[in-house]
Amino acid sequence: MKKKFSLKLLKKRFTRFIPGNGVTGMDQKELESYFHSLDRSFFVDNDMKKYADLDEPLPIGFGQTISQPSLVLEMTRLLAPEKDSKVLEIGTGSGFQTAILAKMSAEVYTVERIAELMEKAKKRLEALNFSNINYKVGDGSLGWKEYVPYDRIMVTAAASVLPDELVNQLATGGRMVIPIGPPNLQELKLITKTDNGDIHIRTVEMVRFVELKGQYGWTV
User: In what side-by-side order are the strands of the sheet with 199-207?
Assistant: 133-137, 107-112, 86-90, 150-155, 170-180, 186-193, 199-207
Considering the candidates 67, 85, 94, 105, report the single residue annotated as catalytic: 67
Amino acid at 117: L
Looking at per-residue confidence, does 218 or 73 come out higher? Answer: 73
pLDDT score at 114:
98
| Residue 36 scores a pLDDT above 80 | yes
Q: What share of the chain is helix, strand, coil (3-state, %, to 5)?
A: 35, 30, 35
pLDDT score at 19:
46
| Residue 186 scores a pLDDT above 50 | yes
| 70 annotated active-site | no
Q: CB atoms < 10 A from the CB of 54, how many?
A: 15
From CA 189, how far away is CA 133, in angstroms rounded? Answer: 25
pLDDT score at 217:
83
Q: What domains can be seen in the chain, in order of their start residue?
A: 24-207 (3.40.50.150)
pLDDT digit string (tens) for 159-178?
A: 999 999 999 999 999 999 99
From CA 152, how far away is CA 171, in angstroms rounded? Answer: 8
| Residue 22 scores a pLDDT above 50 | no
